[in-house]
Amino acid sequence: MSLSFQSLSLKTLQRVASRQTRLFTTAIPGPSSETGGAGIGNVESRLLPSMNDAELFKHCKYPRTTSIIGAPMTYGQPFVGTDAGPSLLRERGLRNILTSLGWRVEDLPDLDFDPEQFSGSVDPPNARNCSLVAHGSEILADTVESKLRKGQFPLVLGGDHSIGIGSLTGILRVIPDIGIIWVDAHADLNTPATSGSGNMHGMPIGLLLDHTEENAVDFSKLPGFEFLVDGPRISPDQIVYIGLRDIDPTERVWLRDYGIKAFTMYDIDHFGIGQVMDMAFEHLYKGNPNRPLHISYDIDAVDPVLAPATGTKVRGGLTFREAHFVAEAAAQSGNLASAEIVEFNPTLSDDGGASETLELGEQLISSFMGQSII
Protein backbone atom coordinates (compact mmCIF):
# COMPACT_ATOMS: atom_id res chain seq x y z
CA MET A 1 0.00 0.00 0.00
CA SER A 2 1.54 3.31 -1.08
CA LEU A 3 1.12 6.63 0.68
CA SER A 4 -0.42 9.55 -1.15
CA PHE A 5 1.67 12.66 -1.76
CA GLN A 6 -0.50 14.56 0.70
CA SER A 7 -0.09 12.01 3.51
CA LEU A 8 3.64 11.71 2.87
CA SER A 9 4.04 15.46 3.08
CA LEU A 10 2.08 15.52 6.33
CA LYS A 11 4.30 12.78 7.74
CA THR A 12 7.39 14.77 6.82
CA LEU A 13 5.96 17.92 8.40
CA GLN A 14 5.16 16.01 11.56
CA ARG A 15 8.74 14.74 11.67
CA VAL A 16 10.09 18.28 11.30
CA ALA A 17 7.80 19.48 14.10
CA SER A 18 8.98 16.59 16.26
CA ARG A 19 12.60 17.56 15.50
CA GLN A 20 12.08 21.07 16.80
CA THR A 21 10.25 19.86 19.90
CA ARG A 22 13.01 17.38 20.72
CA LEU A 23 15.75 19.88 20.03
CA PHE A 24 14.46 22.52 22.38
CA THR A 25 13.21 20.08 25.01
CA THR A 26 16.75 18.73 25.24
CA ALA A 27 18.10 22.24 25.49
CA ILE A 28 16.00 23.49 28.41
CA PRO A 29 18.25 24.02 31.45
CA GLY A 30 17.34 22.55 34.80
CA PRO A 31 16.73 24.74 37.84
CA SER A 32 20.26 24.32 39.13
CA SER A 33 22.01 24.97 35.81
CA GLU A 34 24.48 27.84 35.81
CA THR A 35 26.35 26.90 32.66
CA GLY A 36 24.63 29.20 30.16
CA GLY A 37 24.18 28.12 26.54
CA ALA A 38 21.61 25.40 25.91
CA GLY A 39 21.78 24.01 29.43
CA ILE A 40 22.51 20.35 28.75
CA GLY A 41 25.69 20.38 30.81
CA ASN A 42 23.91 19.36 34.01
CA VAL A 43 22.54 16.11 32.55
CA GLU A 44 24.55 13.06 33.59
CA SER A 45 25.02 9.90 31.54
CA ARG A 46 26.09 6.49 32.82
CA LEU A 47 29.05 4.98 30.99
CA LEU A 48 28.04 1.41 30.31
CA PRO A 49 29.60 -0.69 27.53
CA SER A 50 27.36 -2.54 25.13
CA MET A 51 26.01 -5.93 26.23
CA ASN A 52 27.20 -7.36 22.89
CA ASP A 53 30.66 -5.89 23.44
CA ALA A 54 32.43 -8.93 21.95
CA GLU A 55 30.77 -8.24 18.58
CA LEU A 56 31.98 -4.64 18.34
CA PHE A 57 35.21 -3.29 16.82
CA LYS A 58 35.99 -6.65 15.27
CA HIS A 59 38.79 -5.21 13.11
CA CYS A 60 40.90 -4.41 16.21
CA LYS A 61 43.39 -6.93 17.54
CA TYR A 62 42.85 -8.47 20.97
CA PRO A 63 43.19 -7.06 23.56
CA ARG A 64 41.29 -4.12 22.13
CA THR A 65 43.40 -0.94 22.28
CA THR A 66 42.68 2.61 21.20
CA SER A 67 45.40 5.13 20.52
CA ILE A 68 44.39 8.73 21.33
CA ILE A 69 46.03 10.99 18.75
CA GLY A 70 45.81 14.70 19.49
CA ALA A 71 45.92 16.70 16.24
CA PRO A 72 45.83 20.37 17.33
CA MET A 73 45.45 21.82 13.84
CA THR A 74 44.23 25.40 13.55
CA TYR A 75 45.65 26.49 10.18
CA GLY A 76 42.90 25.04 7.99
CA GLN A 77 40.55 27.90 8.95
CA PRO A 78 40.93 31.48 10.16
CA PHE A 79 40.05 31.26 13.87
CA VAL A 80 42.54 30.59 16.64
CA GLY A 81 41.22 28.06 19.16
CA THR A 82 40.62 24.72 17.42
CA ASP A 83 44.08 23.63 18.58
CA ALA A 84 42.72 23.51 22.16
CA GLY A 85 40.34 20.65 21.39
CA PRO A 86 42.58 17.68 22.23
CA SER A 87 43.76 19.01 25.58
CA LEU A 88 40.27 20.10 26.66
CA LEU A 89 38.78 16.69 25.84
CA ARG A 90 41.53 14.99 27.84
CA GLU A 91 40.93 17.30 30.79
CA ARG A 92 37.31 16.15 30.89
CA GLY A 93 38.46 12.60 31.65
CA LEU A 94 38.58 10.99 28.22
CA ARG A 95 40.95 8.22 29.29
CA ASN A 96 38.66 7.18 32.15
CA ILE A 97 35.69 7.17 29.81
CA LEU A 98 37.45 4.85 27.40
CA THR A 99 38.71 2.45 30.06
CA SER A 100 35.21 2.27 31.58
CA LEU A 101 34.00 1.14 28.14
CA GLY A 102 36.50 -1.71 28.12
CA TRP A 103 39.33 -0.20 26.08
CA ARG A 104 43.02 -0.38 26.76
CA VAL A 105 44.27 3.17 26.14
CA GLU A 106 47.47 4.52 24.64
CA ASP A 107 47.40 8.30 25.05
CA LEU A 108 50.02 9.86 22.79
CA PRO A 109 51.35 13.41 23.25
CA ASP A 110 49.73 15.88 20.88
CA LEU A 111 51.39 15.91 17.47
CA ASP A 112 53.75 18.85 16.97
CA PHE A 113 52.60 21.09 14.13
CA ASP A 114 55.34 23.67 14.73
CA PRO A 115 54.80 26.54 12.26
CA GLU A 116 58.19 28.22 12.67
CA GLN A 117 59.96 26.32 9.90
CA PHE A 118 57.38 27.57 7.40
CA SER A 119 57.50 31.24 8.32
CA GLY A 120 58.84 32.22 4.90
CA SER A 121 56.63 29.95 2.81
CA VAL A 122 54.35 31.40 0.13
CA ASP A 123 50.86 29.98 -0.27
CA PRO A 124 49.67 28.99 -3.74
CA PRO A 125 46.48 30.70 -4.97
CA ASN A 126 43.43 29.84 -2.87
CA ALA A 127 45.11 27.41 -0.45
CA ARG A 128 45.71 29.27 2.79
CA ASN A 129 48.52 28.05 5.07
CA CYS A 130 49.16 25.28 2.55
CA SER A 131 52.59 24.25 3.85
CA LEU A 132 51.41 24.24 7.46
CA VAL A 133 48.38 22.07 6.70
CA ALA A 134 50.47 19.75 4.53
CA HIS A 135 53.11 19.35 7.24
CA GLY A 136 50.50 18.42 9.84
CA SER A 137 48.72 16.12 7.41
CA GLU A 138 51.86 14.12 6.67
CA ILE A 139 52.70 13.72 10.36
CA LEU A 140 49.17 12.61 11.15
CA ALA A 141 49.03 10.22 8.19
CA ASP A 142 52.21 8.46 9.33
CA THR A 143 50.93 8.19 12.91
CA VAL A 144 47.50 6.83 11.97
CA GLU A 145 49.05 4.35 9.57
CA SER A 146 51.43 3.00 12.23
CA LYS A 147 48.62 2.50 14.77
CA LEU A 148 46.38 0.70 12.30
CA ARG A 149 49.21 -1.63 11.29
CA LYS A 150 49.49 -2.61 14.97
CA GLY A 151 45.79 -3.49 15.05
CA GLN A 152 44.89 -0.50 17.24
CA PHE A 153 41.92 1.85 16.91
CA PRO A 154 43.08 5.41 16.07
CA LEU A 155 40.95 7.97 17.89
CA VAL A 156 41.93 11.35 16.44
CA LEU A 157 41.06 14.54 18.31
CA GLY A 158 40.98 17.74 16.27
CA GLY A 159 41.78 20.38 15.51
CA ASP A 160 39.96 21.72 12.47
CA HIS A 161 38.65 19.40 9.76
CA SER A 162 41.71 19.76 7.54
CA ILE A 163 43.11 16.96 9.71
CA GLY A 164 40.89 14.68 7.62
CA ILE A 165 43.52 14.90 4.89
CA GLY A 166 46.08 13.24 7.15
CA SER A 167 43.85 10.79 8.97
CA LEU A 168 42.27 9.50 5.75
CA THR A 169 45.63 9.22 4.01
CA GLY A 170 46.97 7.07 6.84
CA ILE A 171 43.85 4.91 6.87
CA LEU A 172 43.80 4.42 3.09
CA ARG A 173 47.42 3.23 3.12
CA VAL A 174 46.38 0.32 5.34
CA ILE A 175 42.70 -0.17 4.38
CA PRO A 176 42.26 1.10 0.79
CA ASP A 177 38.58 0.11 0.72
CA ILE A 178 37.64 1.76 4.02
CA GLY A 179 34.01 2.90 4.18
CA ILE A 180 33.80 6.54 5.27
CA ILE A 181 30.94 8.09 7.26
CA TRP A 182 31.38 11.87 7.02
CA VAL A 183 29.12 13.60 9.56
CA ASP A 184 29.12 17.30 8.77
CA ALA A 185 27.02 20.31 7.87
CA HIS A 186 29.42 20.83 4.96
CA ALA A 187 30.66 18.53 2.19
CA ASP A 188 34.36 19.54 2.47
CA LEU A 189 34.55 18.67 -1.22
CA ASN A 190 36.29 21.81 -2.47
CA THR A 191 39.77 22.07 -3.96
CA PRO A 192 41.92 25.18 -4.37
CA ALA A 193 40.37 25.55 -7.82
CA THR A 194 36.79 25.67 -6.48
CA SER A 195 36.96 27.05 -2.93
CA GLY A 196 35.48 30.45 -2.28
CA SER A 197 37.60 31.03 0.83
CA GLY A 198 40.83 29.09 0.34
CA ASN A 199 40.37 27.57 3.81
CA MET A 200 41.65 24.00 3.68
CA HIS A 201 39.27 22.64 6.33
CA GLY A 202 36.75 22.69 3.48
CA MET A 203 38.94 20.53 1.22
CA PRO A 204 39.82 17.13 2.78
CA ILE A 205 37.44 15.07 0.63
CA GLY A 206 37.93 17.27 -2.42
CA LEU A 207 41.70 16.83 -2.30
CA LEU A 208 41.65 13.06 -1.78
CA LEU A 209 38.77 12.16 -4.10
CA ASP A 210 39.57 10.14 -7.22
CA HIS A 211 38.47 12.89 -9.58
CA THR A 212 37.93 12.80 -13.29
CA GLU A 213 40.99 14.04 -15.17
CA GLU A 214 39.71 17.58 -15.66
CA ASN A 215 39.05 18.02 -11.91
CA ALA A 216 42.12 16.22 -10.56
CA VAL A 217 44.36 18.04 -8.10
CA ASP A 218 48.03 18.49 -9.01
CA PHE A 219 49.72 17.95 -5.65
CA SER A 220 53.13 18.82 -7.08
CA LYS A 221 51.91 22.43 -7.17
CA LEU A 222 50.75 22.46 -3.53
CA PRO A 223 53.80 23.06 -1.29
CA GLY A 224 54.24 20.25 1.24
CA PHE A 225 51.67 17.94 -0.36
CA GLU A 226 54.17 16.15 -2.59
CA PHE A 227 53.62 13.04 -0.43
CA LEU A 228 50.17 12.75 -2.04
CA VAL A 229 51.27 12.91 -5.68
CA ASP A 230 50.89 9.14 -6.08
CA GLY A 231 47.85 8.73 -3.85
CA PRO A 232 46.06 7.24 -2.07
CA ARG A 233 42.64 8.34 -3.32
CA ILE A 234 39.01 7.94 -2.22
CA SER A 235 36.57 6.34 -4.64
CA PRO A 236 33.25 8.24 -4.79
CA ASP A 237 31.34 5.10 -3.76
CA GLN A 238 33.23 4.61 -0.49
CA ILE A 239 31.94 7.70 1.30
CA VAL A 240 28.53 8.57 2.75
CA TYR A 241 27.62 12.02 4.03
CA ILE A 242 25.27 12.50 7.00
CA GLY A 243 23.72 15.85 7.95
CA LEU A 244 24.62 18.12 5.02
CA ARG A 245 22.90 21.51 4.94
CA ASP A 246 25.43 24.04 3.59
CA ILE A 247 26.91 23.03 0.23
CA ASP A 248 28.88 25.15 -2.24
CA PRO A 249 27.87 25.29 -5.92
CA THR A 250 30.67 23.10 -7.32
CA GLU A 251 30.22 20.64 -4.46
CA ARG A 252 26.56 20.23 -5.45
CA VAL A 253 27.57 19.45 -9.03
CA TRP A 254 30.22 16.96 -7.98
CA LEU A 255 27.96 15.18 -5.50
CA ARG A 256 25.55 14.52 -8.37
CA ASP A 257 28.05 13.89 -11.16
CA TYR A 258 30.17 11.48 -9.11
CA GLY A 259 27.12 9.74 -7.62
CA ILE A 260 28.30 10.27 -4.04
CA LYS A 261 25.79 9.07 -1.46
CA ALA A 262 24.69 12.08 0.59
CA PHE A 263 21.94 12.39 3.21
CA THR A 264 21.04 16.00 3.85
CA MET A 265 18.99 17.33 6.75
CA TYR A 266 15.99 17.13 4.43
CA ASP A 267 16.54 13.38 4.14
CA ILE A 268 16.84 13.05 7.92
CA ASP A 269 13.58 14.97 8.37
CA HIS A 270 11.89 12.88 5.67
CA PHE A 271 13.09 9.36 6.53
CA GLY A 272 14.20 9.64 10.15
CA ILE A 273 17.75 9.09 11.34
CA GLY A 274 17.30 5.33 11.80
CA GLN A 275 16.38 4.70 8.19
CA VAL A 276 19.06 7.10 6.98
CA MET A 277 21.75 5.11 8.81
CA ASP A 278 20.30 1.83 7.50
CA MET A 279 20.57 3.18 3.96
CA ALA A 280 24.08 4.46 4.61
CA PHE A 281 25.23 1.01 5.75
CA GLU A 282 23.42 -0.68 2.85
CA HIS A 283 25.41 1.50 0.46
CA LEU A 284 28.76 1.00 2.19
CA TYR A 285 28.34 -2.76 2.62
CA LYS A 286 27.61 -3.56 -1.02
CA GLY A 287 29.78 -6.59 -1.76
CA ASN A 288 31.32 -6.72 1.71
CA PRO A 289 29.18 -6.80 4.88
CA ASN A 290 32.39 -6.79 6.96
CA ARG A 291 33.88 -3.68 5.38
CA PRO A 292 35.88 -1.64 7.92
CA LEU A 293 34.47 1.82 8.61
CA HIS A 294 35.83 5.21 9.61
CA ILE A 295 33.67 7.97 11.10
CA SER A 296 34.70 11.61 10.79
CA TYR A 297 32.50 13.69 13.06
CA ASP A 298 32.42 17.47 12.72
CA ILE A 299 30.69 18.96 15.76
CA ASP A 300 29.02 21.51 13.47
CA ALA A 301 26.79 18.70 12.19
CA VAL A 302 24.86 19.20 15.44
CA ASP A 303 22.48 22.13 15.72
CA PRO A 304 24.31 25.21 17.09
CA VAL A 305 21.75 25.48 19.90
CA LEU A 306 23.45 22.39 21.31
CA ALA A 307 26.99 22.96 19.97
CA PRO A 308 27.67 26.70 19.82
CA ALA A 309 31.47 26.56 20.22
CA THR A 310 32.43 25.90 16.62
CA GLY A 311 33.45 28.08 13.71
CA THR A 312 31.02 27.38 10.85
CA LYS A 313 27.63 27.20 12.55
CA VAL A 314 24.54 26.49 10.42
CA ARG A 315 21.05 26.37 11.91
CA GLY A 316 18.86 23.30 11.50
CA GLY A 317 21.35 20.58 12.44
CA LEU A 318 21.15 17.23 14.19
CA THR A 319 19.25 17.02 17.46
CA PHE A 320 20.88 15.58 20.56
CA ARG A 321 19.46 12.11 19.99
CA GLU A 322 20.08 12.13 16.24
CA ALA A 323 23.70 13.09 16.85
CA HIS A 324 24.10 10.21 19.28
CA PHE A 325 22.23 7.74 17.08
CA VAL A 326 24.71 8.29 14.24
CA ALA A 327 27.60 7.57 16.60
CA GLU A 328 25.87 4.61 18.25
CA ALA A 329 24.93 3.06 14.91
CA ALA A 330 28.53 3.29 13.72
CA ALA A 331 29.72 1.47 16.84
CA GLN A 332 26.94 -1.12 16.80
CA SER A 333 27.78 -2.01 13.19
CA GLY A 334 30.76 -3.89 14.61
CA ASN A 335 32.93 -2.65 11.73
CA LEU A 336 34.16 0.69 13.07
CA ALA A 337 37.96 0.72 12.77
CA SER A 338 38.87 4.38 13.38
CA ALA A 339 37.29 7.71 14.30
CA GLU A 340 37.93 11.43 14.55
CA ILE A 341 36.05 14.37 16.03
CA VAL A 342 36.80 17.94 14.99
CA GLU A 343 36.09 21.68 15.02
CA PHE A 344 35.67 22.48 18.73
CA ASN A 345 36.59 26.09 19.28
CA PRO A 346 36.03 27.32 22.85
CA THR A 347 36.88 30.89 21.87
CA LEU A 348 33.76 31.19 19.70
CA SER A 349 31.21 30.94 22.52
CA ASP A 350 30.87 32.00 26.13
CA ASP A 351 32.12 29.70 28.89
CA GLY A 352 28.76 27.95 29.17
CA GLY A 353 28.49 27.29 25.45
CA ALA A 354 32.08 26.09 25.26
CA SER A 355 31.55 23.71 28.17
CA GLU A 356 28.37 22.29 26.68
CA THR A 357 29.95 21.79 23.26
CA LEU A 358 32.89 19.97 24.80
CA GLU A 359 30.59 17.83 26.95
CA LEU A 360 28.58 16.92 23.87
CA GLY A 361 31.78 16.00 22.04
CA GLU A 362 32.86 13.83 24.96
CA GLN A 363 29.48 12.10 24.96
CA LEU A 364 29.60 11.52 21.20
CA ILE A 365 33.03 9.93 21.59
CA SER A 366 31.64 7.60 24.25
CA SER A 367 28.80 6.67 21.88
CA PHE A 368 30.99 5.75 18.92
CA MET A 369 33.44 4.01 21.24
CA GLY A 370 30.80 1.57 22.45
CA GLN A 371 28.56 3.11 25.10
CA SER A 372 25.09 1.58 24.96
CA ILE A 373 21.78 1.94 26.78
CA ILE A 374 21.44 -1.87 26.91
Active-site residue list: 161, 184, 186, 188, 201, 298, 300, 343
Q: In what order do the strands lie in the sheet with 104-107?
A: 104-107, 65-71, 153-158, 336-342, 293-298, 179-183, 239-244, 261-264
Q: What is the DSSP letter of 44?
A: -
How far is it between the farthest Cα atoms of the chain?
67
Q: Which residues contact 28 (CB under 8 A, 6 or more apart)?
A: 39
Per the CB < 8 A criterion, the answer to whether 291 and 335 are in contact is: yes
Number of neighbouring beta carbons within 10 Å of residue 347: 12
CA separation for the pair 62, 64 (Å, rounded): 5
Which three-class secondary structure state does DSSP give residue 331?
helix
**Concatenated DSSP letters for 342-353?**
E---GGGS-HHH
